[in-house]
Structure 1
Amino acid sequence: MNKFKPVMFVGTASDVGKSVLATAFCRVLKQEGYQPAPFKAQNMSLNSYVTPEGLELGRAQAVQAEACNIPSHTDMNPVLLKPNSEKSSQIVLNGKPVGNQSAREYFLGNNKEKLFEEAKAAFQRLHEKYSPIVMEGAGSISELNLKKRDISNMRMAMAAGADVYLVADIDKGGVFASVYGSIQLLNPEERKHIKGIIINKFRGDASLFEEGKNLIKDLTGIPVVGLLPYFKDIFIEEEDSVSLKKKFSKAVEKRLNIGVVLLPHISNFTDFSRLERDERVHLFYSHDKEELAASDILILPGTKSTIADLHFLRRKGIAEVILHAHKAGKKVIGICGGYQMMGSWIEDPYQVESEMVRYPGLGLLPVNTILEKEKQTVERTFLYRDLDTPCKGYEVHMGKTIGSGNPLIYFQDGTTDGCWLSDQCWGTYLHGILDNAVVLDDLLREKGNRSEDLLNWADFKQQQYDKLADHLRRHLDLDYMINLLNA
């Protein structure tokens, strides 16, 4: 296999579109006959995924691997930070948790050199199997107070010898200052790696920005290689919970309303991506008790801090809304941490989450949970209830739930998962369960029409990657970028 230079997308700030651009470029390179793979040295996200080996990585790199048509692997995201409070995070190294640290300990401590070596080793292993590697930075490239310890941006770009493209979000405003300032704050050696600037999320007539492109080139000496229009008609899974603020936030008339409780530490909200696209329902995220009370179906999602978020439900009055909905015969289901909340008790003997040894659940399901030190991460093939259609999902949790009641899930090895109390009330540890048509059709049985008749999820996602690649082909100077890979 021929080896090509890596390419890296970095940002003037967070949420400028780096992940989506990296996904799109992965797909373009795959279409062009290359063998690309994604890489992000350090990711901070509560949306994670499980590799075929049963290890954990950031969801964005799993999506990018899917765009490359290759299996996800922890070398694509060797360091994953999963916030469990406003000031601390669980550190996942090469797919396995290695402990918790405060932000101060992590960003100012001495362990970053070891993590940087781990990141470089992961990159090298990946580069031996795939080429080119499509790299993604984190946040802004010019955080001067953190730059010396940063393992995600220019330090990693220089170690990999990557061509770097700076992404700016013009929709945020101040694009000239953010681009010029970001580049000026780099040292000369770092600046040599910046090969182009991409202006993202442009609205209106692109011809009006021609002068702007020339001004940026004059200011920085670096060409603008693309002006990417804002789009709403391409669906790519998002990793950042910031995106949830853009979702519908209340029930609507004449639709089956599904309310997902917007927990402070919500995780793996991509569990509901397919439901968002289902024309039979209107799905929204909210922590407003009046809006949630108007739902026909309530879903308690995954969380990184089950006990803290359960306390939040009680403090906000949402727990009462959930219990009232259950008594009224509405459907209430829970996934992962949400499933744990629906039980009678949550015990934390090792103080994994809090100083509380025992905390009462909502009492909707006849189960109890014990939080454990070891995390369960595994891909699963399963049967849902008494249906004989194989389904797929994955587990990412640090707890064991036991009790009475009928199992919801049956695995090939004879073990089970979850608790089915009735059609109106059940819970499971399985993320991705709602991506399966038979589960959705059972959940929405009164709405008619089969899910596969409306949307084949696997085909739909592949179509979206192709649409995203087409978007880049129309608005980015791909010839320039691809020619540099061969230089």
Structure 2
Amino acid sequence: MLAPVLMVVGTASSVGKSTLVSALCRIAARRGIRVAPFKAQNMSNNAAVTANGEEIARSIAVQAAAAKLAPSVQMNPILIKPEGQRRSQIIVQGRPWRTLDAIDYWQRKQMLWDIVSSSLDSLRQEYDLVIAEGAGSPVELNLKAHDITNMRVATYAQAQTLLVGDIDVGGIFAAMLGTLMLLEPAERQLIAGLIVNRFRGDPALFTDGIAILEQRSNKPVLGVVPWLPQLGLPEEDAVALERPAQMATTAGLTIGVIQLPAIANFDDFDPLAQEHGVAVRYIKQPHELADCQALILPGTKHTLAARQWLSEQGFDQPIQQFQGPIVGICGGYQLLGQQIDDPQALEGNGGTMGGLGLLPITTVFSAEKQTRQVQATSHLPWAKDCPLTGYEIHLGRSELLADQPALTIEVAGANHADGCMRADGKIWGCYLHGIFANRAFRYAWLGSLGWQAQAGQPASDPFERLADHVEQALKPNLLAKLLNGEQKRAENIAKL
């Protein structure tokens, strides 16, 4: 018998669906329910790698961790990794499928429905409950006919579905009631309740708002979730970088991260930002380098386009003359080298460009994509022999022109050099995502910049903090019925 599905859809993108799914996964898991997350299709360059070397969206890996599971490709069968405004690499079941323009992908979406439904069925056979997440809005009417992520999933699974709206951006009534109005009658019947998210102030002030929503929608409001700052979980995608920055005024160390086009896996730097006395600032203009004590070039889905952008924006000379430490991760590591070659046009139109010339490496792109979890050892002078764990996601292969590797990667009993460094360790780069999540290494690098760790209590589990916060805001009886997930949706609606 297939397990029930609880679906979370939103009035728009970035209303907090992913975070709420993480919360619900942890709430269910600590009640003894074997629960798994699911998202049919995700668009993000923030990717994670499973133990089998498969790519899935980073947000799904976070949700799996909330459910106390190792991530699997069934949880996110389709991942779209944008390379530019109209072109994306399509990852299907964890492996590169094709690189397509948006309209070409749209015409092929129906081909992928069987993969979506079979992945969902696989999870439903293995777990007691699946909590599925939609994407964007379920009522984009010009796109809805080809939807394989929102209400098609909910209808297929006859899922109890929650509609989430973000009150912090305003327009909560229009967003929620308008979404319900635009759903088809059969889809509207699947909506089991509403969640008002990111409320600032006293939720008691929204009592009238709850009454209005329930009266006009004929749906229960499951709860009003207060704003929760500094949660410490990775952002789903680069949309978060477009929000106004909330800089810590007490930070003694500012690390600049250049916001490259098609920036990828920028959650690599979250562990740095969470340290007391450290601010991570995403910068788009060369003059902003003056406020930074260290500089990072992050990953990017399109290295040659990023190289051209750096030149066009006037970054070349300011980076080359920057007096502080410089780090490159993945695509950023490639940019620090002498030359980048893409002879097969694997990213965009391909071609050859000179790098920034700060490390003695050359990079050539090949069709074989490297995706794997790895262990490593640091050779950097301020973190000599420090053990590391992380993961790789990259196309290019970089050749060292001097014997200056930054790391030794250990995979399946074999060792090989990775990364490159200047002799003093001030400029370095590597392919290892998640490197700053290694506490000893992070402290060593920050210490080389003059930072000192602050004594204090160990950080609390962000999933427990999130689950406590959300559970307290939701109506316990309604939440229990949703998590119990009776098979017959009609019986559930009647009991609500």
How far, CA to CA, are the matches of 2:214 and 2:457 in structure 1?
44
**In the alignment, structure 1 residue 294 sits paired with structure 2 residue 296:** no
CA contact (8 A) 2:247 2:279 kept: no
**Cα displacement (A) at 1:310:** 1.0
**In the alignment, structure 1 residue 214 sits paired with structure 2 residue 211:** yes
Who is 1:353 aligned against? 347
Who is 2:419 aligned against? 418
Q: 1:78-106 CA distances to partner (integer Å, 9 max, x unpaired)?
A: 00000001011110000001111111222
Who is 1:114 aligned against? 111
Q: 1:57-88 CA distances to partner (integer Å, 9 max, x unpaired)?
A: 00000000011111011110000000001011
* CA root-mean-square deviation: 2.0
How far, CA to CA, are the matches of 1:452 and 1:372 in structure 2?
44
Q: Secondary structure in 1 aligned to 2:269?
A: helix
The equivalences for 1:60-79 within 5 A come to 60-79=59-78
Who is 2:392 aligned against? 395
Who is 1:138 aligned against? 135
Task: Tell me which moved more, 234-243 or 393-402.
Answer: 234-243
**Percent of pairs with identical residues:** 39
How far, CA to CA, are the matches of 1:252 and 1:463 in structure 2?
25
How far, CA to CA, are the matches of 1:447 and 1:400 in structure 2?
30
**In the alignment, structure 1 residue 483 sits paired with structure 2 residue 484:** no
Q: Kindly provide the amino acid, as one letter, of the partner of residue 429 in structure 2.
A: G
Q: 1:387-427 CA distances to partner (integer Å, 9 max, x unpaired)?
A: 34421110001110002231111123121210111311111
**Cα displacement (A) at 1:52:** 0.4
How far, CA to CA, are the matches of 2:299 and 2:2 in structure 1?
40
Q: 1:309 to 1:251 in 2, by over 3 A?
A: farther
Who is 2:436 aligned against? 434
Who is 1:376 aligned against? 370
Q: Kindly provide the amino acid, as one letter, of the partner of residue 376 in structure 2.
A: F
Task: Tell me which moved more, 441-450 or 468-477.
Answer: 441-450
How far, CA to CA, are the matches of 2:127 and 2:272 in structure 1?
34
Q: 1:428 to 1:454 in 2, by over 3 A?
A: farther
How far, CA to CA, are the matches of 1:7 and 1:193 in structure 2?
10
CA contact (8 A) 1:437 1:451 kept: no
How far, CA to CA, are the matches of 2:431 and 2:96 in structure 1?
19
Q: 1:333 to 1:19 in 2, by over 3 A?
A: same
Who is 1:83 aligned against? 82
Q: 1:446 to 1:428 in 2, by over 3 A?
A: closer
**Cα displacement (A) at 1:319:** 1.8
**In the alignment, structure 1 residue 467 sits paired with structure 2 residue 433:** no
How far, CA to CA, are the matches of 2:63 and 2:57 in structure 1?
10
Q: 1:149 to 1:298 in 2, by over 3 A?
A: same
Q: 1:289 to 1:252 in 2, by over 3 A?
A: farther
Q: 1:252 to 1:190 in 2, by over 3 A?
A: closer
Q: 1:410 to 1:263 in 2, by over 3 A?
A: same
Q: 1:273-303 CA distances to partner (integer Å, 9 max, x unpaired)?
A: 1000112422211112111233111100000
How far, CA to CA, are the matches of 2:9 and 2:251 in structure 1?
44
Q: 1:334 pairs with 318, 328, 332, which one?
A: 328
Q: 1:471 to 1:251 in 2, by over 3 A?
A: closer
Who is 1:273 aligned against? 270
Q: Which residues of structure 1 form unaligned runs of 5+?
A: none
Q: 1:324 to 1:260 in 2, by over 3 A?
A: same
Q: Kindly provide the amino acid, as one letter, of the partner of residue 67 in structure 1.
A: A
Q: Secondary structure in 2 aligned to 1:400?
A: strand
**Cα displacement (A) at 1:451:** 5.8
How far, CA to CA, are the matches of 1:231 and 1:249 in structure 2?
14
**Cα displacement (A) at 1:247:** 6.4
The equivalences for 1:124-163 within 5 A come to 124-163=121-160
**Cα displacement (A) at 1:437:** 2.0
Q: 1:14 to 1:223 in 2, by over 3 A?
A: same
**Cα displacement (A) at 1:486:** 3.8
**Cα displacement (A) at 1:7:** 0.6
**Cα displacement (A) at 1:237:** 1.4
Q: 1:297-339 CA distances to partner (integer Å, 9 max, x unpaired)?
A: 11000000111111111111112111011xx3x2111000000
CA contact (8 A) 1:437 1:450 kept: no
**Cα displacement (A) at 1:211:** 1.7
Who is 2:40 aligned against? 41
TM-score by length of 2: 0.92
Q: 1:449 to 1:27 in 2, by over 3 A?
A: same
Who is 2:489 aligned against? none
CA contact (8 A) 2:420 2:428 kept: yes
CA contact (8 A) 2:251 2:277 kept: no
The equivalences for 1:176-191 within 5 A come to 176-191=173-188
Q: Secondary structure in 1 aligned to 2:321?
A: helix
Task: Tell me which moved more, 231-240 or 163-172.
Answer: 231-240
Q: 1:381 to 1:191 in 2, by over 3 A?
A: same
TM-score by length of 1: 0.94
Q: Kindly provide the amino acid, as one letter, of the partner of residue 135 in structure 1.
A: A
